[in-house]
């Protein structure tokens, strides 16, 4: 793919997408997703009315798909002008990117499978818009900004960060006093952990495994490595589908929790010899490695739903293999030296991103609504906030949840004055 050549009249690159002709399909898909996003619907209405982003330039590094498109549109409808590119070039939905560019005046730079070179161009294109606000992923935009202080837009006043990894990096930066502007941590709000990870990602992972293998979960022994929010969700749903779940962990508290939730717990060493299917969701490296390959049962299936492609040690597996061949579209069979066959899904890359469609819209809804409110919150307060990573206030989680309940037509209770007084009085000596 050549360097993007499409330039706007003013000489600025206005967009770089696969094919504007895909925009019709992309628009339809974006609107269909929006129907399942009642919280964002409600917040978009509020943004349209209050125009809190009037005149604001937002630069966003964010997956481009039918769901995130609706966040981008909501920010735009709140008055912002946006430039966007994508962190995971694998998963860009080209039709949605085309529609953003054509139908919503968003400067969109994202093509599925773009080369590293093109990707860098796209990042630069976004930064060249001199954003006041960065919507970031892994801190990529922010680190680029501080790497070239000469060209860094001085206008940038605040940002959001959506990934746990990005937050870790930015917090380290803040500790050293080098964070250039306040950042709000949308990546670890309660909404994200509960809904995106425990419900959304969990279902996507199972969906991805089914598409890759069509195994029957009922009666299958599945090893879930990592009992964080996402691992808990996967394990619970697998149990609900009739699988036998084995959990591996490094944290004893999580391990005991897994036992009491009805799962078996063992070391990966022991689990390696027992499981039919393995799902890694730890955020760590080589969770399944050399010493485990030796123990796997003939026919074992390995997949990763965690970090990049590092949780399964694919390099060592390749070296232990006498032959390999694809057996289904996303399934590769490795024949080990001793004749055992092992199957790896999606080359060890995150199965939910590669194969499934990531979290369903109804769940992305909550996360993205939270994101929109967090941007608004930070901009309102950014003069008074110190240059640090700020947590999403619990009130935003509650506001999002309230919008969701309303959309579902569900009512909850409120404390009466008397009840509130009683709760308060509990803190008084009796």
Q: In the window 302-331, what residues touch a copy of itself (CB under 8 A)?
A: 310, 325, 327-328, 331
- CB 5 to a copy of itself: min, Å: 29
Q: How many residues does the chain have?
A: 430
> In the 8-state DSSP scheme, what is residue 16?
B
Phi then psi dihedrals of residue 336, to 5 deg: -75, 165
E-assigned strand segments in 127-201: 133-136, 158-161, 183-185
Place of tokens 């990049």: 308
**Could you say which of 152, 241, 336, 388 contacts a copy of itself (CB under 8 A)?**
241
Q: Does 44 participate in binding a copy of itself (rule CB under 8 A)?
A: no
Find, among 410, 414, 413, 415, the residue nearest to 39 by Cα: 410
Q: Contact region for a copy of itself (CB under 8 A) — 81-89, 92-100, 101-109, 137-145?
A: 137-145
The total of other beta-carbon atoms located within 10 Å of residue 294's CB is 13
Do the Cβ atoms of 373 and 400 come closer than 8 Å?
Answer: yes
The two structure tokens encoding residue 385: 């906030």
Least distance CB 89 / a copy of itself (angstroms): 16
Helix (DSSP H) and strand (DSSP E) numbers for the chain? 18, 15
User: Which of 214, 384 has the CB closer to a copy of itself?
Assistant: 214
Shortest separation between residue 134's beta carbon and a copy of itself, angstroms: 15
Q: How far is the CB of 142 from a copy of itself (least distance, A)?
A: 10
Rg (CA), the chain: 23
User: Measured from the CB of residue 269, what is the shortest distance to a copy of itself in angstroms?
Assistant: 8
Minimum CB distance to a copy of itself smaller for 264 or for 381:
264
Let me know the angle formed at the C-alpha of 85 by 36 and 285, rounded to the nearest 5 degrees.
85
Residue from 54, 214, 338, 384 touching a copy of itself (CB under 8 A): that is 214
Q: Considering the rule CB under 8 A, would residue 149 count as an interface residue with a copy of itself?
A: no
Out of 6, 21, 151, 216, name the contact with a copy of itself by CB under 8 A.
216
**Closest approach of Cβ 2 to a copy of itself, in Å?**
27
Residues 253-312 that bind a copy of itself (CB under 8 A): 253, 255-257, 259-270, 283-286, 299, 310
- Provide, rounded to whole angstroms, the least separation between the CB of residue 412 and a copy of itself: 5
CA distance 397 to 378: 15
Q: Is 415 in the site for a copy of itself (CB under 8 A)?
A: yes
Kindly determine how many residues on this chain lie close enough to bind a copy of itself according to the rule CB under 8 A.
103
Q: Which of 3, 10, 150, 427 binds a copy of itself (CB under 8 A)?
A: 427
Specify the residue, 1 or 423, whose C-beta has the smaller distance to a copy of itself: 423
Q: CA triplet 58, 9, 63: central angle to 5 degrees?
A: 35
Q: 174 to 193, contacts with a copy of itself by CB under 8 A? A: 190-191
Measure CA 26 to chain center: 21
Where is 334: in which H helix or E strand?
strand 331-336
Q: Which is nearer to a copy of itself, 81 or 264 (CB)?
A: 264
Residue 171 class from Cβ within 10 Å (0-12 exposed, 13-18 middle, 19+ buried)? Answer: middle
């Amino acid at each position: 793919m050549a360097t993007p050549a499409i330039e706007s009249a003013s000489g600025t690159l206005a967009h770089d997408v696969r094919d504007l002709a895909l925009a019709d399909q992309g628009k339809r898909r974006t609107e269909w997703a929006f129907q399942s996003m009642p919280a964002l619907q409600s917040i978009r209405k509020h943004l349209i009315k209050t125009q809190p982003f009037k005149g604001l330039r937002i630069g966003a590094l964010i997956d481009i798909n039918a769901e995130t498109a609706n966040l981008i549109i909501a920010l735009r409808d709140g008055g912002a002008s946006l430039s966007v590119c994508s962190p995971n070039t694998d998963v860009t939905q080209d039709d949605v990117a085309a529609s953003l560019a054509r139908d919503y005046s968003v400067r969109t730079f994202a093509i599925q499978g773009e080369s590293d070179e093109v990707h860098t161009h796209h990042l630069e294109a976004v930064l060249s818009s001199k954003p006041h606000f960065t919507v970031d992923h892994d801190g990529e935009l922010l680190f680029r900004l501080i790497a070239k202080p000469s060209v860094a837009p001085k206008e940038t006043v605040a940002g959001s960060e959506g990934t746990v990894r990005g937050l870790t990096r930015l917090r380290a930066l803040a500790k050293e006093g080098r964070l250039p502007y306040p950042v709000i941590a949308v990546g670890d709000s309660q909404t994200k952990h509960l809904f995106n990870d425990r419900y959304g990602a969990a279902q996507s992972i199972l969906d991805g495994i089914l598409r890759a293998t069509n195994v029957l979960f009922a009666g299958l022994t599945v090893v879930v490595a990592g009992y964080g929010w996402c691992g808990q969700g996967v394990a619970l749903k697998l149990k609900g589908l009739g699988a036998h779940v084995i959990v591996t962990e490094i944290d004893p508290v999580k391990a005991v929790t897994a036992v009491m939730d009805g799962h078996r717990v063992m070391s990966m060493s022991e689990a390696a010899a027992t499981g039919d299917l393995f799902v890694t969701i730890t955020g760590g490296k080589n969770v399944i490695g050399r010493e485990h390959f030796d123990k796997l049962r003939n026919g074992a299936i390995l997949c990763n739903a965690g970090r990049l492609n590092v949780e399964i040690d694919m390099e060592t597996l390749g070296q232990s293999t006498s032959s390999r061949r694809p057996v289904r579209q996303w399934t590769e069979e490795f024949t080990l030296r001793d004749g055992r066959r092992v199957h790896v899904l999606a080359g060890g890359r995150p199965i939910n991103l590669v194969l499934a469609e990531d979290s369903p819209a109804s769940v992305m809804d909550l996360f993205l609504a939270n994101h929109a409110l967090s941007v608004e919150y930070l901009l309102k307060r950014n003069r008074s906030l110190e240059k640090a990573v700020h947590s999403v206030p619990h009130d935003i989680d509650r506001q999002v949840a309230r919008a969701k309940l309303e959309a579902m037509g569900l009512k909850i209770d409120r404390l009466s004055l008397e009840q509130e007084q009683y709760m308060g009085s509990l803190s008084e000596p009796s």
